[in-house]
Amino acid sequence: MKLLAVGSMAYDAIETPFGKTDKILGGAASYIGLAASVMKVDVSLVTVVGEDFHREYLEMFERKNINIEGVEIVKGGKSFFWSGKYSLDLNTRDTLITEVNVLADFDPKIPPHGSESEVLLLGNLDPKVQLSVLHKMKKRPKLVILDTMNFWMNSTWDSLMKVIAETDVITINDEEARQLSREYSLIKAAKKIHAMGPKYVIIKKGEHGAILFYKDEIFALPALPLEEVFDPTGAGDAFAGGFAAYLTKTEDLSFENMKKAIVVGSAMASRTVEKFGTKSIENYTNEELKERIKQFQGLTAFESLTV
């Protein structure tokens, strides 16, 4: 199967208690594409950048067999730019600068190679753009995965509800799940979100792992304890990319296989936070991914016991 992903491709400038960067590669599409490339799946990206976007980044994607026919380069335009500063616990951040630039007028163009993809990942973007991509597909994908955030809940509620209604899987963090559902209990929140359309609800809890909800079934995975965490930016995008790539590669969209996909997504996210920006995941090998998955197995497996 093939994976098509839409999202931003951007510059980020990040400051954490452990250092700061100038403009570096960022954006949901960048993290998603790199995560999918580790899985060696057929992935196409749909996004827009300005003429200021470094060619070396596009060449890196091409070397990793990421299809970038759907990356529009606007002559004279400037790429999306975000700058943020994280608190000591890395769970909260302040946005310092947001320059939407070419994303303001983004009209996504689906490349022929990706227009019949079986898995569609709608990365964090304006819901109107996400819905536009879904409706431009030659046929409805077998699986539509949506990633969104509280910004869109605050500013584009009606459009967000429309795209959620056409989604199979939604991935959001615990704060966003509570805002979307107006429920504090994550179990109640998942049930309300199910009723909006998605059959599967993934609630990410940062350093506390992720939970997958399907009907009355729940699968919870803890996060992998790490010695060093430098930058959480892009971890959610890498998670979504790994999750979608595993389902694409295995061609199995069952709940049982989604449990495994959660592990792969978590292994991608845990690698991403160990360096600033995309640096860690750029050099992530399939063998290293397998070793990290073994760590998750050791962390969660135990024999039956009698009490």
DSSP string, the chain: -EEEEE---EEEEEEETTEE-SSEEE-HHHHHHHHHHHTT-EEEEEEEEETTS-HHHHHHHHHTTEEEEEEEEETT----EEEEEE-TTSS-EEEEEEE-GGGGG------GGGTT-SEEEE-SS-HHHHHHHHHHSSS--SEEEEE--HHHHHH-HHHHHHHHHT-SEEEEEHHHHHHHHT-SSHHHHHHHHHHHS-SEEEEE-GGG-EEEEETTEEEEEPPPP-S-----TTHHHHHHHHHHHHHHHHT--SHHHHHHHHHHHHHHHHHHTTSSTTHHHHT--HHHHHHHHHHHHHHH-------
Backbone angles phi, psi at 280, to 5 degrees: -65, -45
* Mean pLDDT computed over every residue of the chain: 95
pLDDT, mean of residues 150-163: 95
Task: Give me the residue label for tokens 């991608």.
Answer: 268
Strand 10-16 with 81-86, pairing: parallel
119-145 confidence digits (pLDDT tens)? 999 999 999 999 999 999 999 999 999
Closest CA to 279 of 217, 218, 230: 230
Closest CA to 32 of 204, 270, 268: 268
- Measured distance CA(239)–CA(262) in Å, rounded: 8
Beta bridge partners of 171: 147, 202
User: Given pLDDT bands bounded at 50, 70 and 90, which one contains residue 214?
Assistant: very high
pTM of structure: 0.96
Q: Name the residue with higher pLDDT: 131 or 88.
A: 131
Strand 210-214 with 217-221, pairing: antiparallel
Asked if the model's pLDDT at residue 83 lies above 90, the reply is: yes
First to last CA, the chain: 46
4-37 confidence digits (pLDDT tens)? 999 999 999 999 999 999 999 999 999 999 999 9
96-121 confidence digits (pLDDT tens)? 999 999 999 999 999 998 999 999 99
- Which residues are CB-contacts of 86 (< 8 A; sequence separation ≥ 6)? 14, 15, 16, 17, 92, 93, 231, 232
Asked if the model's pLDDT at residue 305 lies above 90, the reply is: no
**The predicted structure's pLDDT at residue 131:** 97
> Are the C-beta atoms of 131 and 162 separated by less than 8 Å?
yes
